[in-house]
Amino acid sequence: MDASLIVSNILNPPILFFFLGMTAVLVKSDLEIPAPIPKLFSLYLLLAIGFKGGVELTKSGVTQEVVLTLLAATIMACVVPLYTFFILKLKLDTYDAAAIAATYGSISAVTFITASAFLTELNIDFDGYMVAALALMESPAIIVGLILVNLFTVDEKREFAWSEVLQEAFLNSSVFLLVGSLLIGMLTGEHGWQVLEPFTQGMFYGVLTFFLLDMGLVAARRIKDLQKTGVFLISFAILIPIVNAGIGLAIAKFINMPQGDALLFSVLCASASYIAVPAAMRMTVPEANPSLYVSTALAVTFPFNIIVGIPLYMYGINLLWR
Q: Determine the Cα–Cα distance for residues 70 and 210; give it in Å rounded to an integer.
A: 31
- Maximum C-alpha span of the chain: 58
Close Cβ partners of 222 (under 8 Å, ≥ 6 residues apart): 294, 295, 298, 299
Q: Determine the Cα–Cα distance for residues 274 and 272; give it in Å rounded to an integer.
A: 7
Close Cβ partners of 245 (under 8 Å, ≥ 6 residues apart): 266, 267, 269, 270, 309, 312, 313, 316
pLDDT value of residue 161: 65
pLDDT tens, N- to C-terminus, the chain (322 residues): 566 777 777 888 888 999 999 999 999 999 988 888 888 888 898 898 889 888 888 887 778 888 999 999 999 999 999 999 999 999 998 999 999 999 999 988 889 989 998 998 889 998 888 988 888 888 888 888 888 888 887 666 556 666 766 776 667 777 788 889 989 998 998 899 899 988 988 888 898 899 889 888 988 888 877 777 788 999 999 999 999 999 999 999 999 999 999 999 999 999 998 877 887 787 778 888 887 888 899 889 999 999 999 999 999 999 998 8
C-alpha 147: how far from chain center: 22
Q: Which amino acid is at 117?
A: A
Q: Determine the Cα–Cα distance for residues 138 and 275; give it in Å rounded to an integer.
A: 10
Q: Write down the pTM of the prediction.
A: 0.86
Half-sphere exposure of 209 (CA within 13 A, CB side): 12
Domains and CATH numbers, the chain: 3-21+35-321 (1.20.1530)
